[in-house]
């Protein structure tokens, strides 16, 4: 039993990755838009698990808050507004689906052939440790969130400020686009 739990703990990334891929396939393949949104939520939660297993704790939590808390709810509301009233969806997939899938498969095979050394080659040299204090069992000097904030507010302050302007513009633009004609 302990061995089993230990194995799961070691392969946490693989488990979450496979689950996220399964969720993504359901997003693409499901006939009903609500099922797509729910599968999208599942995939996002699994990707948050991937982030956590890559020691990006702050980003994992931000992923859950932003996607599960914000974006999925937004999608569900729009599905409610748009989809239920007149479901005249004759065909779910485009006519040229077969060619599109074939094209993407060919592209993926080419990519795999070119980058097979990167994708399947010898294991990369072991990762540098993000927080050496933790590995050495010393007092933890810096948590993940602190490190991210140092990167965000010291090294990349300008992109951060531009992002705030972009978010404001998107907010105003969304209101203008979605408001009704008469005032």
Indicate which single residue of 40, 42, 45, 49 sits in contact with other proteins (rule: CB under 8 A).
Answer: 40
- Per-residue mark of binding to other proteins, 75-114 (x: CB under 8 A): x--xx-xxx--x-xx-xxxx-xx--xx-xx--xx--x---
- Span of 1-9, 68-76, 133-141 interacting with other proteins by CB under 8 A: 68-76
Give the C-alpha separation, 76 to 74, whole Å. Answer: 5
Q: Which of 67, 65, 70 is nearest to 41 (CA)?
A: 67
Q: Which of 45, 54, 71, 66 is nearest to 12 (CA)?
A: 54
Give the C-alpha separation, 107 to 128, whole Å. Answer: 33
- Span of 1-9, 70-78, 133-141 interacting with other proteins by CB under 8 A: 70-78
> What token pair was written down for 135?
């590995």
**Using rule CB under 8 A, residue 59 touches other proteins:** yes
Give every CB contact of residue 109 below 8 A, 6+ residues apart in sequence: none
User: Closer CB to other proteins, residue 93 or residue 141?
Assistant: 93
For 182: left if phi > 0, alpha if psi spans -120 to 50, otherwise beta; the answer is beta
- Per-residue mark of binding to other proteins, 1-20 (x: CB under 8 A): ---------x--xx--x--x
**Using rule CB under 8 A, residue 37 touches other proteins:** yes
142-161: which residues touch other proteins (CB under 8 A)? 144, 147-148, 150-152, 155-156, 159-160
User: Closer CB to other proteins, residue 3 or residue 126?
Assistant: 126
Give the C-alpha separation, 30 to 48, whole Å. Answer: 22
- Span of 1-9, 28-36, 133-141 interacting with other proteins by CB under 8 A: 28-36
Give every CB contact of residue 131 below 8 A, 6+ residues apart in sequence: 140, 141, 142, 144, 147
């Amino acid at each position: 039993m302990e061995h089993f739990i230990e194995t799961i703990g070691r392969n946490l990334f693989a488990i979450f990755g496979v689950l996220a891929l399964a969720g993504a396939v359901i997003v693409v393949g499901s006939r009903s838009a609500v099922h797509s949104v729910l599968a999208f939520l599942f995939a996002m939660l699994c990707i948050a698990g991937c982030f956590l297993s890559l020691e990006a704790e702050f980003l994992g939590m931000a992923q859950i808050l932003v996607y599960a808390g914000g974006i999925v709810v937004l999608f569900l509301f729009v599905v409610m507004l748009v989809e239920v009233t007149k479901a005249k969806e004759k065909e779910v997939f485009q006519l040229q689906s077969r060619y599109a899938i074939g094209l993407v498969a060919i592209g993926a095979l080419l990519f795999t052939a070119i980058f097979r050394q990167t994708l399947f080659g010898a294991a990369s040299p072991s990762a540098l440790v993000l927080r050496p204090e933790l590995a050495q069992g010393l007092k933890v000097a810096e948590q993940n969130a602190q490190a991210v904030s140092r990167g965000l507010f010291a090294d990349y302050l300008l992109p951060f400020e531009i992002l705030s302007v972009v978010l404001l513009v998107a907010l105003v633009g969304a209101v203008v686009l979605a408001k009704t004609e008469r005032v």
